[in-house]
Structure 1
Amino acid sequence: MIYVVLFFLAFSLFLYVLLGGADFGAGIVELFSSKENQQITKKTIYRVMGPIWEANHIWIIIVMVILWVAFPVYFNIIMISLHIPLTLILIGITLRGVSFIFRHYDAVVDESQKIYNGLFRFSSVFTPLLLGMTFGGVISGSIILPEHLSQYNFGEVYIASWFNIFSLLTGIFFSALCAFLSATLLIGEADEAHEKIYRRKSAIATIVVVLSGSILIIYGYVNDFVFIKDFIQNPYSISLIGASALVLIPLWIHIRKGHKILSRFYAGLQVVMIIAAAMIAHFPYVLITKQGELSLLEGVAPDSVIRVLGISLIVGGLVILPGLFHLLKSFKMIKVLEP
């Protein structure tokens, strides 16, 4: 049953990166646009994401619940060491949601609209940036285990673990990945006159993803980060990264030909392969601390808990996934069944 739990953990993470990432990326695309294009993107975003944006964030909740119930040792260490960025992420998601709703439904059009727009756009940038920095903290080797906290000061324990160059580069890479995913998906939602806007944004985001990813790997390798060295030496991770680069060819062919379904498929596939490459590079020793590497399978909850959790996830999946599919299809987010 532990493999069922691990499957749902990975599955929920993938869905959050795809759906939540596209959600965040839409705000990034809007921020880095001209005033005229910002209005176009704003209308497109609300039409596409307005009815379903809340559903995009249930997956991160599922990830946290699975960690809490099944892998309490990991959950405890992450919650203690990274509580500052995690709290800021929650604030960012809240501010983004509030501003997203108020800028559309506020009946009074005045200066407050500028505040709503600004909150939405900037929270769309710093929230995925902090998500990436949090993951960077997990793999950077800077986290200090709870039993050693007394040997370090506040800054070393709660700041340096995630606020460093490596984590910042990881955050920039993830933000670029979100922008790439969103810009590519928005191509299929724009009318013919505006498609070129998102094609250009997708091309720019692709370049930023490649550059930021390359800088991240080079920096990590030069500075002897364990995760990066193991990532480079892992044949599966390197193969997935190589395959994701090759996927750019059919992706851009289908974008140029206006194939909405296939372009979305290849964009999603590319992101999934990149995330999968990062996940398997060091599995199960995902958490790297100053005191050494810690396996995800150490300190697992009792078998009785894992069994109940696994059954609950299976039943919940059978209930939630068809409903999610119907929701996305109803609001034209899934086009594969359309004529």
Structure 2
Amino acid sequence: MLYIVLFFLMFSLLLYVLLGGADFGAGIVELFSSRENRKITRDTIYRVMGPVWEANHIWLIILLVILWVGFPGYFNVMMIYLHIPLVLVLLGITIRGVAFVFRHYDAVLDSSQIWYNRLFRIGSIITPVFLGMSFASLISGKIIITNDYTNYGFYDLFMEPWLHLFGLLIGLFYAALCAFLASNYLIAETEGDARKLYRKKSAMYTVVLVILGFILLVYGYFAGFKFIEDFIHNPVSLISVGISGLLLIPLWRNIKRGNRIWSRYLAGLQVVLVMFAAIMAHFPYIIITAEEELSLLENLAPEATIDNLAIMLLIGGFVILPGLFHLMKSFNMIKILDKSKPKEM
């Protein structure tokens, strides 16, 4: 039963990165576009994201519930020592969601639209950045777990674990990953000049992603972060990253040929490989504190709780997944076959 729970935990994380990440990335693409191209991106976002944007956060909720119920030790550490970046994540999600609704459905078009647009773009970039910084704090080895708060200051316990250059680099890397996903997904949703625009955006964010990834590994290694050292010496992680890099070749060939389906799948597969490499680099010791490494498989909930959680997740999966698939298929978010004829661009 534990493996069922672990499967749904990783599955929820994966879907949130792929779907929620693409939503954040669309806002980032809009943010770093010219005034003319912002309108193109905004119109595309309305058409593509409008019907399903709320559904993507279900995976974050499921992820947190699984941690809360099945892995209370991990959940406790995250909620106590990462409460500041996680609150900023929730603030970014809220700002972005409110701005999206009002700029899309507001009956009166006035100067307030300017603020809705700004808040949407700001929320779209700060959310993945702080999500990345939250993850960085778990693996940085700077979390100090203690019950004696007299020997440590507020900054030592609740700021230093995530407020550092390594955390910022991971936050920017995840933001670039979201923009890479979004630009590749949007290629399949557009035609003509708009599609050429997203091809350029995809190339730009691919370069940014590679550069940030290289800087992150070099800095993390020479700064002595154990996670990066283990990542570099882990053959599974290196092979996964290598395959992800090699997939850039067929990805760009399919984009050039106009094969929308395979370009979308290849972009998603690259992200899956990067995530797999990061998780396998130190699994199950995802949290690295200043004193020790905490295993995800220790301090579990009682066996009866794990069993009931697994049963509920299986039932929920059979209920939710078909409905979500139908929703996304109905609004053309999921494409199995591309009926349009590929063409050179």
Q: Secondary structure at the match of 1:221?
A: helix
TM-superposed CA distance for 1:148, in Å, is 5.0
Q: What aligned pairs does 1:1-339 form with structure 2 within 5 A after superposition?
A: 1-147=1-147, 149-337=149-337, 339=339
* Contact 2:103-2:117 within 8 A present in 1 as well: yes
TM-superposed CA distance for 1:292, in Å, is 1.4
* 1:117-147 CA distance string (max 9 Å, x none): 0000011011100000000011111111143
* Contact 1:103-1:113 within 8 A present in 2 as well: yes
* Contact 1:138-1:286 within 8 A present in 2 as well: yes
Q: Secondary structure at the match of 1:279?
A: helix
* Contact 1:77-1:146 within 8 A present in 2 as well: no
Identity of aligned residues (%): 60
Give ranges in structure 2 of 5+ residues lacking alignment: 340-345
* Contact 2:169-2:212 within 8 A present in 1 as well: yes
TM-superposed CA distance for 1:338, in Å, is 5.8
* Contact 2:259-2:338 within 8 A present in 1 as well: no
TM-superposed CA distance for 1:152, in Å, is 1.2
TM-superposed CA distance for 1:337, in Å, is 4.8
Task: Report the TM-score when normalising by structure 2.
Answer: 0.97
Distance 1:138 1:148 in 2: 21
Task: Report the TM-score when normalising by structure 1.
Answer: 0.99
TM-superposed CA distance for 1:193, in Å, is 2.5
Check 1:148–1:230 CA distance in 2 against 1; reply closer, same or farther (3 A cut): farther
Distance 1:310 1:146 in 2: 32
Q: Which amino acid aligns with 1:327?
A: L
Q: Which amino acid aligns with 2:120?
A: F
What is the root-mean-square deviation of aligned Cα atoms in Å? 0.9
Distance 1:150 1:195 in 2: 58
TM-superposed CA distance for 1:108, in Å, is 1.2
Distance 1:309 1:149 in 2: 34
Q: Which amino acid aligns with 1:45?
A: I
Q: Which amino acid aligns with 1:243?
A: I
TM-superposed CA distance for 1:335, in Å, is 1.2
TM-superposed CA distance for 1:149, in Å, is 4.0
- Equivalent position of 2:343 in the other structure: none
* Contact 2:261-2:337 within 8 A present in 1 as well: no
Distance 2:150 2:11 in 1: 37
Check 1:323–1:151 CA distance in 2 against 1; reply closer, same or farther (3 A cut): same
* 1:288-334 CA distance string (max 9 Å, x none): 00111111111000100000000111111111111111011000111
* Contact 1:25-1:181 within 8 A present in 2 as well: yes
